[in-house]
Amino acid sequence: MTSPQDFQAAKLARIAALGLREEDFAEKFARSGGPGGQHVNKVSTAVTLRHVPSGASVTVQDSRSQAINRRTAWLRLLGQIEKQRTEAKATARAEREKVRRQKRPRPWGLKMRILDSKKRRSETKKQRRAI
């Protein structure tokens, strides 16, 4: 496991790469539950980390250690924000491509097939009218 200083530097670099500010995050600590014995009942080891502007939130109470839970919360929340951003970029790109495809003129061959189909349908209807 890396040292706390290494993690702090990596966290700050990742936040900067995402264009976020460390002040936009709110950390809360609460008493945890589950395995861990009396320790988790007496010490606030559960970590809730929230990115205030986006509203994204993560709660971690996997470990008996607050430091490990805090590190896990940061990793999960930053991963969640990255995933949201990539999905938003993909959605925007898909929308642009859809509009581009819709605005593109029909190929000449397709246009001819459609016209032939219309002519055949017209002839069929004329035949019915004659009867």
CA-based angle 108:113:118, to the nearest 5?
125
Low-confidence winner among 40-44, 81-85, 101-105, 109-113 (lowest mean pLDDT):
40-44
| Per-residue pLDDT band at 1 (split at 50, 70, 90) | low
Fill in the amino acid letter for 25: F
Tell me what the mean pLDDT of segment 88-92 comes to: 96
> Which domain, by its residues, includes 99?
4-130
**Cα 66–chain centre separation:** 27
Q: What is the CATH number for 38?
A: 3.30.160.20
| pLDDT over 70 percentage in the chain | 98
Q: Give 46: exposed, middle or buried? Use CB within 10 Å, 0-12, 13-18, 19+.
A: buried
Residue 95: strand, helix, or coil: helix
pLDDT at position 41: 78
Q: How confident is the model at residue 43 (pLDDT cuts 50, 70, 90)?
A: confident
Total structural domains within the chain: 1
